[in-house]
Amino acid sequence: MSTSAPWTIDVVSDVVCPWCYIGKRKLEAALEQARQAGLREPEVRWHPFQLNPDMPLEGISRKQYLEDKFGGPQRASEIYARVKAAGKAAGLDLDIDGITLQPNTLAAHALLAFAQQHGAAVGSDVKERLLKAYFVENRFIGSTDELVAIAGEAGLDADAARAFISDPQQLQQVADADKRARQMGIGGVPFFIFNQKVAVSGAQDPAQLLQAMQQSLAAQA
């Protein structure tokens, strides 16, 4: 097929998932390899998945979250040591220990939907800002005010962003999209769908993601 034909990468992920942040970096590395191979830049589309869909809207203390999820901080520390090492290998300095509140991510995903209405590049920028806000800056991205601030930092209209992420209909659309992902059989994230033809689960290495890109394009030929 022509390398100039349009194509898409759909990424199902959460903004409080460290492997999703690592997976984003690996995807970026794979995309750089794809450019060097002469592939046209794809449209990257971000889709919601809530790791904790039943999280209270006000969030809960990180300490309580770790207790509920891992049985306590010691077990969590063992698990996150591996995560932080993987993050560092991908160029990320994750401050997981600095997180004090575990947020509900429904409104954060709504902000991402709002951003993507302004183009794929804006969507990817806001996705990065949300991940960095949580994992590096330890901001509480369950707060409407914090999300509006992030929108403003990305150059988006703050008032329009606030109205969008406070709209019950928009929040329901996020919840519905999350539900559809689960109905498709997606149980873990990140989950990549290349050109609607080849799926890859997990934060795989760039070479594997590039191979999936090439396979998806060959399938379209």
Give the tens place of pLDDT for each residue, 64-79: 999 999 998 889 999 9
* Percent of the chain with pLDDT strictly greater than 70: 97
Whether the ω angle into residue 190 lies within 30 degrees of 0, i.e. cis, is yes
Tell me the average pLDDT across 7-23.
98
**Residue 163: CATH number of its domain:** 3.40.30.10
If one counts the domains in the chain, the total is 2
CB 215 within 8 A of CB 199: no
In 10 A of CB 6, how many CB atoms?
9
pLDDT in tens, 130-171: 999 999 999 999 999 999 999 999 999 999 999 999 999 999
- Where in the sequence is the domain holding 158, given as residue range(s)? 39-51+105-201
- The dihedral over CA atoms of 95, 129, 12, 10, expressed in degrees to the nearest 10, equals -140
- Is residue 167 helix, strand or coil? coil
